[in-house]
Amino acid sequence: MYQNLLSDSRLYKLLFEIDQDLAAEAKAKGCHCGGRLDSARYRRKPRGLPTELEDQDDYKKRHSLCCAKEGCRCRTTPPSLRFLGRKVYVGAVVVLVAALRHGPTPVRIAKLRKFVGVSVRTVNRWRQWWRLIFVGTPFWKAARGLLRVPLDEQSLPLALLEAFPGHDAQSRLVCLLRFISPLSTSPPRQES
Ligand SMILES: [Zn+2]
């Protein structure tokens, strides 16, 4: 179910549109100094997109804003559902691949490599990121209290996906990406 989403170009289009909205909201709010925010997007070269989207522009820039006022010039990076902070792979892939219920068997990895070009080492690193790094973030420590039922942190991110109501995998994934989007605003130096 979640695996089919990986290659669904409609999902990636939707996430792009949500990011446009989040950027417009941040721009409308303006800088904390009262100054106007201008677009100052970052170039990104994310991996993991379905092949038919690789040549499109939707994922080549990350929204970012810069204050126009002399002496401030503060940068504001709106939250994103496309990019998960510094990760090279798009956020949806980092969630979906790590959520595969039975972990990375050789056959499954071969399939994933075909879909998203990911290696077993990367998959293991993502699973570790969810279970060791993510659970230690101040974001998660504050946010887990907002969930109705406590989660088994060793089953992340699948347990979190399934904590969201929704009739289908796509709406749960979008909820999850929106929920963790405060984590997406770290500076854009890339890491895998
Ligand atoms: Zn400012």
Residues 152-155: contacts with CB within 8 Å, 24+ apart? none
Report if pTM > 0.75: yes
pLDDT computed for residue 39 by the predictor? 96
Cis peptide before 79 (omega within 30 of 0): no
Burial-class residue 69 by CB neighbours within 10 Å (0-12, 13-18, 19+).
middle
Give me 156's structure tokens: 């992340």
pLDDT computed for residue 191 by the predictor? 52
pLDDT computed for residue 72 by the predictor? 96
In whole angstroms, what is the distance from residue 76 CA to residue 20 CA? 14
pLDDT computed for residue 154 by the predictor? 92
Q: How far is the CA of 186 from the centre of ligand 1 (A)?
A: 19
Q: How far is the CA of 63 from the centre of ligand 1 (A)?
A: 17
Per-residue pLDDT of the chain (192 residues; tens, 9 = 90+): 788 898 899 999 999 999 999 999 999 999 999 999 999 999 999 999 998 898 889 999 999 999 999 999 999 999 999 999 889 999 999 999 999 877 777 887 888 888 788 888 898 999 999 999 999 999 999 999 888 888 999 999 999 999 998 879 999 999 999 999 999 986 544 454
Q: How far is the CA of 71 from the centre of ligand 1 (A)?
A: 8
Q: How far is the CA of 179 from the centre of ligand 1 (A)?
A: 27
Residue with tokens 């170039």: 43
